[in-house]
């Protein structure tokens, strides 16, 4: 197996974030959904324990809870529209050109969204099912043995984290196969499972690497926003103190949404492109060979 150099992936993602304008449009949609969703979740983010989170939820009236749920669902949909078409618009990273679903028409944009929406819902249902199963011992212990709750919470967390990472990784790869290959939802999930298991340790290492990149980016953006906020307080601005930091935040997060997705695609290409050209995917839905992955041309 060829080595994957993360420095090269960073370089590829950096170049990809500058060469075309179309990905910026969909990255801005992702950034808008993310920033607005974080604003709606501000109250829940203040909770430092499950008890505090439960207390915040109980305090919400049914009408407030409905509005929050509806708002989160709307921005969940908007985020999928942006992410799915961002992936399709970055298809050149995997040397896929002239895709029928390249997002230059409303039909292609809608098709990418619908396919990705079903896949995202499947991943979300698996995540909810996992949370529900792990919550059962906590609910039982809260009634019968409250003293066991701290240990059960730690155990549930340690169990949930690897499961959530697995769901996240398989969903990422399945999205790439779904949008960049002839496979349907079932075939994409099956093939992403093969890719995940074949490069298990490398996948975990890449997740850690992207986590460090995200932390570094967030730290630098916070420094920039802090500096702009201080300057805007000392220099009168015609549009108010909070507008400029908000605009700068939006631009930075738009670029990072594009860069991060390009980085994932570059990584996907580097491991998924190792393909035997003599064998083909026989069917769209279940064209899975134990030794072969669907065509993603090898990185140059």
Asked if residue 43 belongs to a domain, the reply is yes
Which residues contact residue 25 at a Cβ distance below 8 angstroms, ignoring those fewer than 6 apart?
A: 89
pLDDT at 116 > cutoff 60: yes
For residue 280, is it within any domain?
Answer: no
Question: Any alpha helices (H) in the chain, and if so which ranges?
Answer: 6-19, 22-40, 42-45, 50-59, 62-89, 106-144, 149-180, 185-198, 200-234, 243-272
- Say if 34 falls within a structural domain: yes
Cα–Cα distance for residue pair 33/253, rounded to 1 Å: 11
Computed from CA positions of residues 261, 265, 268, 272, in that sequence, does the dihedral angle turn out positive or negative?
positive
> What CA–CA distance (Å, rounded) separates 198 from 291?
10
The number of domains in the chain is: 1
Per-residue confidence (pLDDT) for residue 100, from 0 to 100: 87
Is residue 190 in a domain?
yes
Q: What is the pLDDT of residue 277?
A: 33
User: Could you list the residue range(s) of the whole structural domain that residue 94 is in?
Assistant: 6-272
**284 in a structural domain:** no
- Residue at 1 is within a domain: no
Average pLDDT over residues 275-289: 38
Quote the pTM value: 0.79
Would you say residue 78 lies in a domain?
yes
Average pLDDT of the segment spanning 178-194 = 91
Q: How confident is the model at residue 283 (pLDDT cuts 50, 70, 90)?
A: very low
The answer to whether residue 281 is domain-embedded is no
Distance CA 104, CA 110 (A): 11
Distance CA 269, CA 263 (A): 10
120-177: per-residue pLDDT in tens? Answer: 999 999 999 988 888 787 777 767 777 776 777 777 778 888 898 999 999 999 999 9
């Amino acid at each position: 197996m060829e080595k994957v150099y993360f420095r090269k992936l960073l370089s590829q993602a950096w170049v990809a974030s500058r060469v075309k304008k179309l990905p910026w449009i969909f990255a801005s949609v992702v950034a808008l959904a993310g920033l607005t969703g974080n604003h709606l979740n501000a109250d829940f983010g203040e909770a430092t324990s499950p008890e505090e989170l439960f207390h915040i939820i109980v305090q919400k009236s049914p009408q407030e809870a409905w509005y929050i749920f509806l708002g989160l669902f709307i921005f969940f949909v908007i985020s999928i529209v942006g992410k799915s078409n961002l992936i399709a618009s970055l298809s050149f990273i995997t040397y896929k050109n002239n895709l029928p679903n390249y997002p230059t028409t409303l039909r292609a944009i809608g098709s990418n969204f619908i396919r990705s929406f079903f896949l995202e819902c499947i991943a979300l249902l698996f995540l909810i099912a996992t949370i529900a199963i792990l919550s059962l011992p906590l609910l039982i212990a809260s009634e019968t043995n409250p003293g066991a709750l701290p240990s059960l919470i730690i155990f549930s967390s340690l169990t949930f984290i690897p499961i959530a990472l697995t769901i996240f990784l398989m969903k990422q790869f399945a999205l790439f196969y779904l949008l960049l290959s002839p496979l349907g939802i079932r075939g994409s999930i099956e093939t992403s499972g093969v890719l995940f298991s074949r490069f298990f340790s490398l996948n975990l290492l890449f997740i850690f690497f992207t986590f460090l990149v995200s932390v570094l980016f967030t730290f630098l953006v916070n420094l920039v926003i802090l500096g702009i906020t201080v300057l805007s307080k000392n220099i009168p601005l015609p549009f108010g103190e909070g507008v400029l930091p908000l605009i700068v935040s939006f631009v930075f997060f738009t670029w990072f949404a594009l860069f991060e997705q390009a980085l994932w695609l570059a990584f996907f290409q580097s491991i998924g492109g190792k393909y035997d050209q003599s064998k083909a995917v026989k069917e769209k839905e279940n064209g899975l060979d134990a030794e072969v992955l669907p065509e993603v041309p090898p990185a140059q």
